[in-house]
Amino acid sequence: MAQAVVIGAGPAGLMAAEELASAGHDVIVVEAKPSVARKFLMAGKSGLNLTKDEPFDELIRAYDEAADWLQPMIRDFDAQAVQAWARDLGQEVFTGSTGRVFPKAMKASPLLRAWLTRLGEKGVEIRTRWRWTGWNESTVTFETPSGPQGLTPDATILALGGASWSRLGSDGAWASILAKRRVALADFAPANAGLLVDWSEHMRPLFGAPIKGVALQAGGIRTRAEAVISSRGLEGGGIYMICKPVRQGAALTIDLLPDVSQKDLTRRLGKPRGKASLSNHLRKVLKLGPVRTALLMEFARPLPRQPEDLARVIKSLPVRHAGLRPLDEAISTAGGVKREALDDGLMLKALPGVFCAGEMLDWEAPTGGYLLTACLATGRWAGRSAADWLKRTG
């Protein structure tokens, strides 16, 4: 049978390798780092969120403008399929109250061990410390501990990740190699990233505190997810969900009391406060708590004196910030190989026999299982497409 090389041993690459091996091909997976799936393992340290257990029509909407492109791939490997895949590897899963799906073991390592065992049984060979350097005519070239090496596969899968968390292997260095081959690329940008805020000194005691009971708003997105105050700004699921419109220039505001109307707030704030200070009056009539009160004081000082003006600010508190955290500190990246550079099977039009998968594609997903689901789905799609291409060109 034909030989296939998969470059990149994250979830997308391993999924592509399994599909090719299942089709009977000899498969070599090469990885620049000393061990495989480092970002996958890191993501699992706080609980491996495999997917979001929701109907396909809801699941696919999370991919925004890439939904139409990814639809056939994710329909073929949706949330239910991801769960079945994990169970087939001996890892029972459960669905949390928000619909997020986790392995019962919570960590990524048991799942990865079982997966690598199955790949080994199918004959997949994995070579680590092999860094891809491009092509020399039809030979795929690598830097290795033994010096330069080359392989001449019948099909190649690129699953090289994005450009965040370079210490784990996703450094985006591949972009310059593909650019020389005239592959259309979108510039990298941080996704699912924290927000940089230059806090005043009075916020220091609240570093690490969760922000609860608020709604974050940017562009057309409004979310009730939580965030966390860190020494460098704001982080957490709520921030990740609105970082795309913020990156695109939309203003970020916080509704500190999303369950109270502006009219009702104005009425409450209009009550006589006697000799009470404004801060004590706010604490008594609104019960904002220390975190939301501190945010109000940080971003709206001096506070408006008129009840209707103060109510307006509480319902739409403008957040002053210095943009998103740097690219290498983002959970994932937007940008990468553009859709128009690929055919429907994820093969590069400029390089027949070379397929792309995973986060290196130009799509963006929020956290919550969507990112991993699409990496697995596109890896599977690319692997199957490569197997079909090998059969046709045989």
The DSSP annotation for 93-140 comes to EEE-TTSEEEETT-SSHHHHHHHHHHHHHTT-EEEES-EEEEEETTEE
pLDDT of residue 46: 80
Farthest CA pair distance, the chain: 87
Same domain, yes or no: 36 and 168 = yes
Same domain, yes or no: 40 and 133 = yes
The count of C-alpha atoms lying within 13 angstroms of the C-alpha of 278, restricted to the half-sphere facing its C-beta, is: 11
Residue 100 Cα to chain centre, angstroms: 14
Same domain, yes or no: 172 and 311 = no
Phi-psi region of 258 (alpha: psi -120 to 50; beta: other; left: phi over 0): alpha
Strand order across the beta sheet in which 3-7 lies: 125-128, 26-31, 3-7, 155-158, 354-356
Number of domains composing the chain:
2
Q: Is 235 helix (H, G, I), strand (E, B) or coil?
A: strand
d(CA 44, CA 37): 11
Residue 86 has φ and ψ, to the nearest 5°, of -65, -40
Amino acid making up residue 246: V
pLDDT of residue 2: 86
Which CATH number does the domain housing residue 165 bear?
A: 3.50.50.60
Same domain, yes or no: 214 and 94 = no
Tell me which of 279, 302, 318 is where a domain ends: 318
Same domain, yes or no: 39 and 70 = yes
d(CA 66, CA 36): 28
Strand order across the beta sheet in which 221-223 lies: 221-223, 215-218, 252-255, 317-318
Residue 72 has φ and ψ, to the nearest 5°, of -65, -35
Same domain, yes or no: 96 and 236 = no
**Secondary structure string (H, E, C) spanning 274-324:** CCCCHHHHHHHHHCCHHHHHHHHHHHHCCCCCCHHHHHHHHHCEECCCCCE
d(CA 361, CA 371): 12
Same domain, yes or no: 91 and 182 = yes
Closest-CA residue to 51 (of 89, 77, 22, 25) = 77
Same domain, yes or no: 183 and 199 = no
Tell me which of 297, 318, 339 is where a domain ends: 318
pLDDT of residue 116: 98
d(CA 221, CA 241): 8
255 to each of 259, 264, 273, 292, 309, how far by Cα in Å? 9, 14, 24, 10, 14
Secondary element (H or E) of residue 337: strand 332-337
Residue 106 Cα to chain centre, angstroms: 18
Same domain, yes or no: 16 and 111 = yes
Same domain, yes or no: 184 and 202 = no
pLDDT of residue 285: 87
Same domain, yes or no: 200 and 223 = yes
- Domain carrying residue 71: 3-190+326-393
Q: Which residues partner with 144 through β-bridges?
A: 147
Tell me which of 283, 318, 353 is where a domain ends: 318
Amino acid making up residue 295: L
| CB neighbour class for 234 (10 Å; exposed up to 12, middle 13-18, buried from 19) | buried
Residue environment code for 174-191, b if the CB has 16+ CB neighbours within 10 A, otherwise e: bbebbeeeebbbbebbbb
Low-confidence ranges of the chain (pLDDT < 50): none
Same domain, yes or no: 26 and 135 = yes
Q: Is the dihedral of CA 29, 31, 35, 37 positive or negative?
A: negative
- In tens, the pLDDT along 217-235 reads 999 999 998 999 999 999 9
- In tens, the pLDDT along 335-381 reads 999 999 999 999 999 999 999 999 999 999 988 899 999 999 999 99
